[in-house]
Chains A and B, each alone.
Chain A
Amino acid sequence: MPLMGGDNLIQLHNITKIYPNNVTALKNISLSIEKGEFVFIIGSSGSGKSTLLKLLLKEIEPTQGEIIINDKNITHLKKKEIPFLRRKLGVVFQDFRLLPNKTVYENVAFAMQIVEATPKEIRRNVPMVLSMVGLAKKARCYPNQLSGGEQQRTALARAIINNPPILICDEPTGNLDPVTSWEIMKLLKDINDRGTTVIIATHEKDIVDKMKKRVIEIKNGTLIRDLSKGGYSDED
């Protein structure tokens, strides 16, 4: 069994997830994502894409199957090891999830404090990442003083500040207008170009169609399509 594959950063083997209320969210999903890939996971709400992301983040455990990230089997990770797995995964959510009582700078620095970075590292890295996402001038603003796009940029900066090899985005443009959405996608592309593997769960057709990246479609918990350089639907 090809459990350890050369550049495969993430591997799912026959993953099934049945929730305690007997809802089958995922059925026998197998897929692998290579290092440096840019992947869309698409499907309507309730299709199981959120479950898939939750499995990767170790919020839940699969009922069956195995998950391997970075050559490490994380299927049954000890509770104590979960934080260290999550440090390898940057996360961005649809609702940004910034701390309202902290400035942009502090929100990003906070992620470094958690991994016990030195103040020197924090002072050096935070402005660097903020200017990369185009927020250098907003460092002292609080989240409620920012536009949605700016808030998502802050969240992105926070997600990548510790240099995770994988960036997971759950509907990152769900709360943004089309123009801003494109800016965020461009940023995600930049981040991907620097070597970070980017996984995006979305149901925005336009974006998926134009990006021409790998598309994994899930419907009713089953993987129905896995195309490199695909579009949102088969008709394209």
Chain B
Amino acid sequence: MKIRTMKYFAGQGFRGIWRNRLMSLASIGTIASCLMIVGIFYCIAVNVDYMLETLEETTGITVFYTEETEEISEEKIQALEDQLNRIDHIEKIIYISPEEALNKEKEEWGEYGSLLEGLENDNPLPPSFELTLDDIRYQKEVISQLNQINGIEIRYLEEETKILIGFNNMIRIVSLVLIVILGFIGVMLMDNTIRLTVYIRKNEINIMKYIGATDWFIRWPFIIEGIIIGVIGSILPLIVIWFSYNFITELIYERNTFIQKILVFRTTGEIFNLLTPISLVIGIGIGVIGSAISIRRYLKV
């Protein structure tokens, strides 16, 4: 395609939007609200996923012998580690000696850490293993296998994990359903918008066909119109989400330091790395499919 022809198509595309600004605005609005919802759900889904990931890493599963610390021999610890190694879905096994455990406690207690001073010689903390799973969804399976090992205690966050997994699944299903429904509505509205432009230009198309314009020559301006509407419709919600995401995460971080331990958020940059291309693809997709459907009907001369 020649550059001047492309210029012609782009000019016609913009003109089409302007000539028919009300419907164009409606289409932009639909695509934008569709992508706004997609964006919000994306933010939630990504962060829930991230929280799960963090949970996997920070809490995981802790196992230790219930016997008195002095009675646990090196061999016993080694034996337990071997047993743990045979269980599937355990990604990482970290041995924590009583000394390390105490230091960690002190750190977590922060300014009150000094209260733990003096326990070094009579450390009540047992040696333990911290297990990280490759996927927290397998927690139940792993726990049931661990239960078969005698003489150990297992600690893990069951409720929290369950809630997060459930929430995560729900978010995924809801966002998928919403994307499909809104995408469909978007395509229909787009079809209407372009149909109006095509209708307005019906005579022009007719004349073009008699003069010998190829179908693609006729189609391109409308497809470009769809692309422009799609791009505008996807950039608008991106801007809104950018500012609100920044605002909300900062607000939560500022107001409540306690909540920070559970609620960890992806940075705005991380969110937009993927949200931007997703939005553009969906927006342009809706725009182009909508135009393509409505031109088809008018190209039969």
Contacts and interface: CB of A to CB of B under 8 A. Distances in A.
6 contacts: A80-B214, A80-B215, A86-B209, A97-B203, A113-B5, A114-B208
A99 B210 contact: no
Contacts of A57: 210
Contacts of A84: 212
Interface string A63-93: 0000000000000000110011111000100
A99 B209 contact: no
Interface in A102-145: 110-111, 113-116, 118-119
B214 A83 contact: yes
The B interface, classified by DSSP as helix, strand, loop or mixed, is helix
A86 B214 CA distance: 10
Interface of A: 57, 59, 79-80, 83-87, 91, 97, 99, 110-111, 113-116, 118-119, 158, 162
A152 B209 CA distance: 19
Nearest to B4: A119
B211 interface: yes
Nearest to A112: B211
Name, among A59, A87, A111, A114, the residue most crowded by chain B CB atoms within 10 Å (CB to CB). A114
Contact of B217 (A99, A111, A114): A114
B212 A99 contact: no
B186 to A, nearest CB: 30
Given A59-B301, A99-B203, A91 B210 contact: yes
A119 B210 CA distance: 22
Contacts of B4: 116, 118-119
B211 A97 contact: no
Given A59-B301, A83-B214, A119-B4, A97 B207 contact: yes
Given A59-B301, A116-B5, A83 B209 contact: yes
Nearest to A97: B207
Interface residues of B, number: 18
Interface of B: 2, 4-5, 8, 203-204, 206-215, 217, 301
Contacts of B209: 83, 86
The A interface, classified by DSSP as helix, strand, loop or mixed, is helix
B212 A115 contact: yes
A230 to B, nearest CB: 29
Contacts of B215: 79-80, 83
A134 to B, nearest CB: 22
B212 A113 contact: no
B22 to A, nearest CB: 19
Contacts of B210: 57, 86, 91, 97
Contact of B212 (A79, A80, A87, A118): A87
B211 A86 contact: yes
B212 A114 contact: yes
Contacts of B207: 97, 99
A110 B212 CA distance: 11
A97 B206 contact: yes
B212 A83 contact: yes
Nearest to B201: A99
A198 to B, nearest CB: 17
Contacts of B212: 83-87, 114-115, 162
A97 B212 CA distance: 15
A99 B204 contact: yes
A57 B208 CA distance: 13
A110 B206 CA distance: 13
Contacts of A87: 211-212
